[in-house]
Chains A and B, each alone.
Chain A
């Protein structure tokens, strides 16, 4: 026991010294539950959604961010393709600068058929420590986080994507395999928090 205390102190010091940047739930950790109302006025609960789908894809997106907008067609197509396979897609708009009516108009304009929620006070973005748009989290039916990162590596040229990371992760989940590349990164617009 005498040895344990200095170790605990060292651990705490190390934790304090760590940069206070992205502090999202780790891969394999429980994805924080949340409840919001969709832009269609329906209740949404992550815990309920986990139970009735093969995975839930949370997508922090924006209406005005050019990087997020570069992915509008890809998000629509991937969501349509994988919805048929039992995956639920939820677009989350946490930007204080973008209103619910803008989110509705944007969804209509781009043909989004997936669930969309407005995140007042960026509470869900804070739960996940989501930093930018687009940023993706995949939650498995057991409530654990299995992927965090980008849609793919090529923002600029959708026809030249070499690393379709979101689709790869979904294919592996559907095949009952662990996600090989569970954390990826890309540039994006910072989420405009309150």
Chain B
């Protein structure tokens, strides 16, 4: 019985919040207005994404009570959904993770997120409490990098 519950809990943690296109993602960010929102784009095939992901899990735990929300967006192919779910099961993020909706031209998605983004992963966008873009972070970041960007958006001094 205990095993079944644990398995059920595990399965719950692996669930994706759904697939998103650029508009769906903008809506998800807008729903968090009043909070600093950190949106991280990752993929299971991207080694630096996998390396920095635990820092995002840690960041969300540390800042969830200070008006900070984290959203993840997997850029994996639909055929790799099992890999995405396994990755989430391994890392147990306490924040929603979406997968980019398949189809369409990726260039439209990339440009809608940030016109200066070339498509490299990982990529992170920090939105201020007013919903406006506060910072973009290209490539792998450290926990300190994430914290610095979030603190600046919160206009707080680092602890």
A positions within 8 Å CB-CB of B: 18-19, 21-22, 64-67, 131-132, 135, 150, 153, 155-156, 163, 184-192
Contact = CB atoms under 8 A, between A and B. Distances in A.
23 contacts: A18-B116, A19-B114, A19-B116, A19-B136, A21-B118, A22-B117, A22-B118, A131-B119, A131-B138, A131-B139, A132-B118, A132-B121, A150-B107, A150-B119, A185-B117, A185-B119, A186-B106, A186-B110, A189-B120, A189-B121, A190-B46, A190-B139, A191-B120
A67 B45 CA distance: 8
A155 B79 CA distance: 13
A156 B121 contact: no
Interface string B41-65: 0010111100000000000000000
A153 B106 contact: yes
A187 B75 contact: yes
A187 B48 CA distance: 14
Nearest to B43: A187
B136 A186 contact: no
A189 B75 CA distance: 11
B118 A185 contact: yes
Main secondary structure of the interface of B (DSSP, over half): loop
Contacts of A21: 114, 116-118, 136, 138
A109 to B, nearest CB: 19
A64 B107 CA distance: 23
Contacts of A192: 48
Contacts of B107: 150, 153, 184-186
Closest 3 A/B residue pairs (Cβ): A132-B120, A66-B45, A131-B120
Given A185-B107, A190-B139, A135 B121 contact: no
B156 interface: no
A185 B79 CA distance: 22
Contacts of B75: 187
Contacts of B111: 185
B3 to A, nearest CB: 35
Nearest to A21: B116
Interface in B13-48: 43, 45-48
